[in-house]
Amino acid sequence: MYKNIPKNPIKFGIYISKFHKKSALSALICVFIGSALGGRFLVIILRNLTDSLSKQPIDTNTVWMWAIAYPVLLFITESIWRLSGFMGMGWFVNLRATAYQALYEHLTLHSKDYFNSRFAGSLASKISNSVDGTEQLFQQILWNFIPLVLGLFWYIVISWISDYRLGIIIAVWSIFFLGINILFSRKLQPYSFKLAETTSALKGKVVDSLSNISLVHEYAYVKGEKDYIKKFVNNDADAGFSRWWVSEWILFINGVLISIFVATMIFKSVYLLLNHLVSIGVVLMIVALVGNIYDIFIFIGHGITNASRYFVQINEGLYYALR
């Protein structure tokens, strides 16, 4: 028996995940290790390889050491990420099953009057939205948000070691960018909630209509039923357009901010090189690092937008399913 099921989307996901602690913790550990070893330390190897090639005379042993270290670390990192996939598979497949079972058992405790006043298709849609949204949100957290936040942390440390001014730029921009996108996600939530409501209503009405299709044919009310369903289709389409419109403007603003950041980092690193404050290896590392951070910021923008949608989808589903 599942007791005291939380209505908050994050708490609900954690509550369900507690039934699968081993696979969840194993997946998290793999992601933490993979995030630390991945592109973060690969850029250090790239920096050291470049500096060893630029020194005269060239120390071939050092060059080969860094040349071999790069693909070896890349292979180890990819293997750890794949291991996180296997662990995550056990977590999320079981999470879906447990979430469905928990919400279904909760619904069965309601009275006959509860079911008489609600459509079965609508209730099924609420459960489906809650389960699907929880799985998507926690996958997003595991394989997107955690690696991205850890990646930014390591890039700040690596840049700071090379030159503290480069580390400060990344730190300030990261805080600013994350703050702006959290604000954007709040602005987007009402549109996401509206879309979740209209989609859930559409699914429920279609299921209920098909469940009673024999009666519709018997009373020759096919055209009326089509027009009835079309209203819900149009409402869902309108909500979808509204949310997408706001989302695209958010991504456009993110693109402008990221371009300014990239220009700032490259110009600053070149300036430091010309003033003999950093090596050419550091500049090359910063260029590679900025390319990775560009992807991180893009993913953060998309990720927060999608996470906001999943959060609202779960919230809307749990609000009705756990009443």
pLDDT at 220 over 60: no
| Count of domains forming the chain | 1
Q: What is the mean pLDDT of residues 139-153?
A: 86
154 belongs to a structural domain: yes
Report residue 253's pLDDT band, with 50, 70 and 90 as the boundaries.
Answer: confident
Supply the pLDDT for residue 20: 94
Q: What is the mean pLDDT of residues 41-70?
A: 84
179 belongs to a structural domain: yes
What is the residue-averaged pLDDT of the chain? 82
Residue-wise pLDDT for 99-143, tens only, equals 999 988 888 887 777 776 666 767 777 788 889 989 999 998 998
Report residue 19's pLDDT band, with 50, 70 and 90 as the boundaries.
Answer: very high
CB-side neighbour CA atoms (13 Å) of 113? 0
172 belongs to a structural domain: yes
Supply the pLDDT for residue 80: 93
Q: Check residues 44 and 30 and name the one with the higher pLDDT.
A: 30
pLDDT at 161 over 60: yes
Supply the pLDDT for residue 288: 78
Report residue 221's pLDDT band, with 50, 70 and 90 as the boundaries.
Answer: low
3 belongs to a structural domain: no
**Percent of the chain's residues with pLDDT above 70:** 89
Distances (CA, A) of 181 to 243, 247, 259, 284, 307: 16, 11, 16, 29, 11
d(CA 270, CA 4): 58
Supply the pLDDT for residue 214: 59
Residue-wise pLDDT for 260-314, tens only, equals 888 888 888 888 888 888 888 888 888 877 877 777 777 776 677 677 778 877 8
- Residue 257: CATH number of its domain: 1.20.1560.10
Report residue 212's pLDDT band, with 50, 70 and 90 as the boundaries.
Answer: low
Supply the pLDDT for residue 92: 95
2 belongs to a structural domain: no
200 belongs to a structural domain: yes
Listed range (72-76, 157-161, 192-196) with the worst mean pLDDT: 192-196
All residues at 6 or more sequence positions from 109 whose CB lies less than 8 Å from its CB, including other chains: none
Q: What is the mean pLDDT of residues 56-83?
A: 88
Its domain, for residue 132, covers 9-321
d(CA 199, CA 133): 13
Listed range (73-87, 118-132, 152-166, 290-304) with the worst mean pLDDT: 290-304
For 151: left if phi > 0, alpha if psi spans -120 to 50, otherwise beta; the answer is alpha
Supply the pLDDT for residue 74: 86
Structure tokens at 149: 């936040």
Supply the pLDDT for residue 210: 62
pLDDT at 98 over 90: yes
4 belongs to a structural domain: no
1 belongs to a structural domain: no
Listed range (3-17, 89-103, 157-171, 196-210) with the worst mean pLDDT: 196-210
d(CA 75, CA 145): 23
